[in-house]
Structure 1
Amino acid sequence: MTVTYKETKAIQTEKVRELYVDAGWMAYTEKKNIIDAIVPNALQVISAWEGEELVGLVRTVGDGVYIMYIQDILVKKAYQGRGIGSHLLQTILSGNKQIPQKVLMTEDTEKTIKFYEKNGFTKVNGKETGVAFSRYDR
Protein backbone atom coordinates (compact mmCIF):
# COMPACT_ATOMS: atom_id res chain seq x y z
CA MET A 1 0.00 0.00 0.00
CA THR A 2 1.15 3.57 -0.66
CA VAL A 3 1.70 6.19 2.02
CA THR A 4 -0.24 9.41 1.45
CA TYR A 5 0.22 12.75 3.15
CA LYS A 6 -2.41 15.21 4.38
CA GLU A 7 -2.31 18.66 5.90
CA THR A 8 -5.18 18.57 8.36
CA LYS A 9 -5.96 18.95 12.04
CA ALA A 10 -9.06 16.78 11.68
CA ILE A 11 -7.56 13.55 12.97
CA GLN A 12 -9.35 11.26 15.41
CA THR A 13 -7.82 11.48 18.87
CA GLU A 14 -7.59 7.69 19.16
CA LYS A 15 -5.45 7.50 16.00
CA VAL A 16 -3.17 10.21 17.40
CA ARG A 17 -2.96 8.35 20.72
CA GLU A 18 -2.00 5.08 18.95
CA LEU A 19 0.81 6.86 17.10
CA TYR A 20 2.23 8.46 20.24
CA VAL A 21 1.98 5.22 22.22
CA ASP A 22 3.82 3.36 19.44
CA ALA A 23 6.57 5.99 19.62
CA GLY A 24 6.76 5.63 23.40
CA TRP A 25 5.81 9.25 24.02
CA MET A 26 3.73 8.57 27.11
CA ALA A 27 3.77 12.13 28.55
CA TYR A 28 1.23 13.13 25.90
CA THR A 29 -1.02 10.14 26.46
CA GLU A 30 -1.17 10.14 30.28
CA LYS A 31 -3.88 12.81 30.40
CA LYS A 32 -6.76 12.81 27.92
CA ASN A 33 -6.95 16.61 27.81
CA ILE A 34 -3.38 16.76 26.47
CA ILE A 35 -3.79 14.26 23.63
CA ASP A 36 -7.16 15.85 22.75
CA ALA A 37 -5.58 19.30 22.42
CA ILE A 38 -2.18 18.87 20.79
CA VAL A 39 -3.32 18.48 17.18
CA PRO A 40 -6.17 21.05 17.09
CA ASN A 41 -3.99 23.66 18.84
CA ALA A 42 -0.94 23.21 16.62
CA LEU A 43 0.16 25.85 14.15
CA GLN A 44 0.36 23.24 11.39
CA VAL A 45 -0.03 19.46 11.13
CA ILE A 46 0.99 17.16 8.30
CA SER A 47 0.20 13.48 8.66
CA ALA A 48 1.21 10.30 6.86
CA TRP A 49 -1.34 7.56 6.21
CA GLU A 50 -1.36 4.04 4.89
CA GLY A 51 -5.01 3.52 4.13
CA GLU A 52 -6.88 4.44 7.32
CA GLU A 53 -3.83 3.98 9.56
CA LEU A 54 -2.02 7.06 10.83
CA VAL A 55 1.65 6.14 10.45
CA GLY A 56 3.39 9.47 10.93
CA LEU A 57 2.91 13.07 11.89
CA VAL A 58 4.74 16.37 12.19
CA ARG A 59 3.26 19.30 14.07
CA THR A 60 4.50 22.81 14.67
CA VAL A 61 3.74 25.57 17.14
CA GLY A 62 4.71 29.21 16.90
CA ASP A 63 3.60 32.57 15.59
CA GLY A 64 3.69 31.67 11.89
CA VAL A 65 5.73 34.78 11.15
CA TYR A 66 9.17 34.70 12.74
CA ILE A 67 9.48 31.44 14.68
CA MET A 68 8.29 27.93 14.07
CA TYR A 69 8.95 25.27 16.65
CA ILE A 70 8.80 21.74 15.33
CA GLN A 71 7.16 20.26 18.38
CA ASP A 72 6.72 16.66 17.25
CA ILE A 73 7.79 14.48 14.39
CA LEU A 74 7.15 10.79 14.74
CA VAL A 75 6.69 7.70 12.60
CA LYS A 76 5.38 4.34 13.76
CA LYS A 77 8.24 1.91 14.38
CA ALA A 78 7.10 -0.50 11.64
CA TYR A 79 7.27 2.35 9.09
CA GLN A 80 10.62 3.88 10.05
CA GLY A 81 13.43 3.82 7.50
CA ARG A 82 11.11 4.43 4.53
CA GLY A 83 11.73 8.18 4.24
CA ILE A 84 8.38 9.12 5.81
CA GLY A 85 9.94 11.26 8.56
CA SER A 86 12.17 13.10 6.09
CA HIS A 87 9.21 13.68 3.77
CA LEU A 88 7.12 15.10 6.64
CA LEU A 89 9.96 17.34 7.80
CA GLN A 90 10.87 18.59 4.32
CA THR A 91 7.21 19.31 3.54
CA ILE A 92 6.86 21.41 6.70
CA LEU A 93 10.10 23.26 5.97
CA SER A 94 9.40 23.94 2.29
CA GLY A 95 5.92 25.23 3.08
CA ASN A 96 7.28 27.69 5.65
CA LYS A 97 10.29 29.28 3.94
CA GLN A 98 9.01 32.73 4.95
CA ILE A 99 9.60 31.89 8.63
CA PRO A 100 13.29 32.56 9.35
CA GLN A 101 13.74 30.76 12.66
CA LYS A 102 12.98 27.04 12.84
CA VAL A 103 13.72 25.28 16.11
CA LEU A 104 13.33 21.83 17.60
CA MET A 105 14.55 19.93 20.60
CA THR A 106 15.06 16.19 20.61
CA GLU A 107 16.92 13.28 22.15
CA ASP A 108 20.69 13.40 22.01
CA THR A 109 21.13 10.04 20.30
CA GLU A 110 23.23 9.17 17.27
CA LYS A 111 20.09 8.16 15.33
CA THR A 112 18.24 11.44 15.90
CA ILE A 113 21.32 13.60 15.34
CA LYS A 114 21.97 11.89 11.98
CA PHE A 115 18.30 12.29 10.98
CA TYR A 116 18.17 16.03 11.66
CA GLU A 117 21.61 16.76 10.22
CA LYS A 118 20.61 14.84 7.09
CA ASN A 119 17.60 17.15 6.87
CA GLY A 120 19.64 20.36 7.12
CA PHE A 121 19.58 21.12 10.85
CA THR A 122 22.60 22.16 12.89
CA LYS A 123 23.13 21.09 16.48
CA VAL A 124 22.91 24.11 18.80
CA ASN A 125 25.73 23.97 21.32
CA GLY A 126 28.24 26.69 20.63
CA LYS A 127 28.97 30.40 20.59
CA GLU A 128 28.01 30.90 16.95
CA THR A 129 24.57 29.32 17.15
CA GLY A 130 23.60 30.21 20.70
CA VAL A 131 22.56 28.05 23.59
CA ALA A 132 19.38 26.10 24.14
CA PHE A 133 17.56 26.05 27.46
CA SER A 134 14.66 23.90 28.54
CA ARG A 135 12.31 23.77 31.50
CA TYR A 136 9.84 20.98 31.88
CA ASP A 137 7.29 21.27 34.69
CA ARG A 138 5.16 18.22 35.34
Structure 2
Amino acid sequence: MVDIEEKITYVTDDQNVSVSKFLSLVNAVWPGKYDDQFTNEALQKTVNITAWDHEKLVGCVRILTDGYFFGTITEILVRPDYQGRKIGKHLMELAWEQSPTSLFIGAQPGKEPFFEKLGYTKSIQSFQKKKERK
Protein backbone atom coordinates (compact mmCIF):
# COMPACT_ATOMS: atom_id res chain seq x y z
CA MET A 1 0.00 0.00 0.00
CA VAL A 2 1.11 3.53 -0.73
CA ASP A 3 -0.36 6.45 1.22
CA ILE A 4 0.03 9.46 -1.09
CA GLU A 5 -2.65 11.82 0.18
CA GLU A 6 -3.85 12.54 3.67
CA LYS A 7 -6.91 10.25 3.57
CA ILE A 8 -6.51 8.31 0.32
CA THR A 9 -4.75 4.96 0.35
CA TYR A 10 -3.59 3.40 -2.92
CA VAL A 11 -3.35 -0.36 -3.46
CA THR A 12 -1.35 -1.68 -6.40
CA ASP A 13 -2.44 -4.97 -7.96
CA ASP A 14 -5.55 -5.06 -5.77
CA GLN A 15 -6.73 -8.64 -6.24
CA ASN A 16 -9.24 -8.34 -3.43
CA VAL A 17 -11.43 -5.49 -4.67
CA SER A 18 -15.00 -6.68 -4.30
CA VAL A 19 -17.46 -6.66 -7.16
CA SER A 20 -20.00 -4.68 -5.11
CA LYS A 21 -17.53 -1.90 -4.26
CA PHE A 22 -16.22 -1.79 -7.82
CA LEU A 23 -19.74 -1.58 -9.26
CA SER A 24 -20.64 1.15 -6.79
CA LEU A 25 -17.71 3.15 -8.20
CA VAL A 26 -18.64 2.33 -11.80
CA ASN A 27 -22.25 3.42 -11.25
CA ALA A 28 -21.07 6.70 -9.73
CA VAL A 29 -19.22 7.42 -12.98
CA TRP A 30 -21.16 5.45 -15.64
CA PRO A 31 -24.64 4.64 -14.30
CA GLY A 32 -26.01 1.44 -15.77
CA LYS A 33 -26.91 -2.17 -15.18
CA TYR A 34 -23.90 -4.46 -14.79
CA ASP A 35 -23.72 -8.21 -14.23
CA ASP A 36 -21.86 -9.27 -11.06
CA GLN A 37 -20.42 -12.49 -12.50
CA PHE A 38 -19.12 -10.85 -15.70
CA THR A 39 -17.70 -7.99 -13.64
CA ASN A 40 -15.88 -10.44 -11.37
CA GLU A 41 -14.42 -12.25 -14.40
CA ALA A 42 -13.30 -8.93 -15.89
CA LEU A 43 -11.58 -7.88 -12.65
CA GLN A 44 -9.68 -11.17 -12.55
CA LYS A 45 -8.18 -10.46 -15.99
CA THR A 46 -6.68 -7.06 -15.19
CA VAL A 47 -4.16 -5.43 -12.90
CA ASN A 48 -6.35 -3.31 -10.63
CA ILE A 49 -4.92 -0.27 -8.89
CA THR A 50 -7.36 1.19 -6.40
CA ALA A 51 -7.78 4.36 -4.32
CA TRP A 52 -9.57 4.15 -0.98
CA ASP A 53 -10.99 6.67 1.44
CA HIS A 54 -11.07 4.32 4.42
CA GLU A 55 -13.50 1.56 3.30
CA LYS A 56 -14.90 3.52 0.34
CA LEU A 57 -13.51 2.78 -3.13
CA VAL A 58 -13.06 6.23 -4.68
CA GLY A 59 -10.91 5.44 -7.71
CA CYS A 60 -9.59 2.61 -9.86
CA VAL A 61 -7.44 2.16 -12.93
CA ARG A 62 -7.34 -1.22 -14.67
CA ILE A 63 -4.52 -2.46 -16.91
CA LEU A 64 -5.02 -5.24 -19.44
CA THR A 65 -1.66 -6.58 -20.59
CA ASP A 66 -0.05 -9.59 -22.19
CA GLY A 67 3.05 -8.81 -20.12
CA TYR A 68 5.36 -8.29 -23.09
CA PHE A 69 3.97 -6.71 -26.25
CA PHE A 70 0.97 -4.69 -25.20
CA GLY A 71 -0.72 -2.98 -22.27
CA THR A 72 -3.82 -0.85 -22.26
CA ILE A 73 -5.76 1.10 -19.69
CA THR A 74 -9.26 -0.35 -19.86
CA GLU A 75 -10.63 2.50 -17.77
CA ILE A 76 -9.75 5.01 -15.12
CA LEU A 77 -12.56 5.86 -12.72
CA VAL A 78 -12.71 8.46 -9.95
CA ARG A 79 -15.93 9.21 -8.08
CA PRO A 80 -17.22 12.60 -9.23
CA ASP A 81 -17.16 14.02 -5.69
CA TYR A 82 -13.44 13.06 -5.41
CA GLN A 83 -12.33 14.48 -8.75
CA GLY A 84 -9.93 17.43 -8.66
CA ARG A 85 -7.88 15.91 -5.80
CA LYS A 86 -5.17 14.40 -8.07
CA ILE A 87 -6.43 10.87 -7.43
CA GLY A 88 -6.59 10.13 -11.16
CA LYS A 89 -3.06 11.47 -11.60
CA HIS A 90 -1.73 9.23 -8.80
CA LEU A 91 -3.57 6.21 -10.21
CA MET A 92 -2.06 6.80 -13.65
CA GLU A 93 1.44 7.23 -12.18
CA LEU A 94 1.06 3.94 -10.33
CA ALA A 95 -0.26 2.28 -13.49
CA TRP A 96 2.86 3.38 -15.37
CA GLU A 97 5.10 2.05 -12.59
CA GLN A 98 3.24 -1.30 -12.38
CA SER A 99 2.83 -1.96 -16.11
CA PRO A 100 5.38 -4.35 -17.62
CA THR A 101 4.81 -2.76 -21.05
CA SER A 102 4.15 0.57 -22.71
CA LEU A 103 0.58 1.75 -22.17
CA PHE A 104 -2.10 2.64 -24.69
CA ILE A 105 -5.25 4.54 -23.78
CA GLY A 106 -8.42 5.33 -25.66
CA ALA A 107 -9.47 8.70 -24.26
CA GLN A 108 -13.08 9.78 -24.32
CA PRO A 109 -13.60 13.03 -26.23
CA GLY A 110 -12.76 15.98 -24.02
CA LYS A 111 -10.50 13.96 -21.69
CA GLU A 112 -7.36 14.26 -23.86
CA PRO A 113 -5.82 17.14 -21.81
CA PHE A 114 -5.78 14.93 -18.68
CA PHE A 115 -3.56 12.36 -20.39
CA GLU A 116 -1.43 14.95 -22.16
CA LYS A 117 -0.62 16.62 -18.81
CA LEU A 118 0.67 13.23 -17.62
CA GLY A 119 3.08 12.95 -20.55
CA TYR A 120 1.04 10.72 -22.85
CA THR A 121 1.15 11.60 -26.54
CA LYS A 122 -1.41 11.04 -29.26
CA SER A 123 -0.62 7.93 -31.26
CA ILE A 124 -2.83 5.46 -33.07
CA GLN A 125 -6.39 6.35 -34.01
CA SER A 126 -9.04 4.59 -31.98
CA PHE A 127 -12.04 2.82 -33.48
CA GLN A 128 -14.91 0.99 -31.85
CA LYS A 129 -17.73 -1.34 -32.73
CA LYS A 130 -20.06 -1.71 -29.77
CA LYS A 131 -21.94 -4.76 -28.57
CA GLU A 132 -24.76 -4.75 -26.06
CA ARG A 133 -23.47 -5.49 -22.57
CA LYS A 134 -24.86 -8.68 -21.03
User: Scaled by the length of structure 1, what TM-score is found?
Assistant: 0.82
Answer yes or no: is the 8 Å Cα contact 2:23–2:34 preserved in 1.
no
Runs of 4+ in 1 over 4 A off after TM superposition: none
- The equivalent position to 1:34 in structure 2, one of 34, 38, 49, is 38
Count of matched residue positions in the alignment of Structure 1 and Structure 2: 126
Q: CA deviation at 1:137?
A: 2.1
User: Scaled by the length of structure 2, what TM-score is found?
Assistant: 0.85
AA aligned opposite 1:77 = P
* SS at structure 1 position matched to 2:103: strand
Percentage of pairs with the same residue: 27
Mapped to 2, the partners of 1:118 and 1:105 lie a distance apart of: 15
Q: CA deviation at 1:4?
A: 0.4
RMSD: 1.6
Deviation per CA, 1:68-127: give whole Å up to 9, x if none.
01001110011000000000001110233x51x311112111xx1111111111223xxx
Aligned pairs for 1:1-138 within 5 A: 2-7=7-12, 8-24=14-30, 26=32, 29-42=33-46, 44-96=47-99, 98-99=100-101, 101-109=102-110, 112-124=111-123, 130-138=124-132
Distance 1:86 1:65, change over 3 A: same
**Greater relative contact order (Cα 8 A, min sep 6): structure 1 or 2?**
2
Structure 1 unaligned spans of 5+:
125-129
Structure 2 unaligned spans of 5+:
1-5
Answer yes or no: is the 8 Å Cα contact 2:19–2:36 preserved in 1.
no
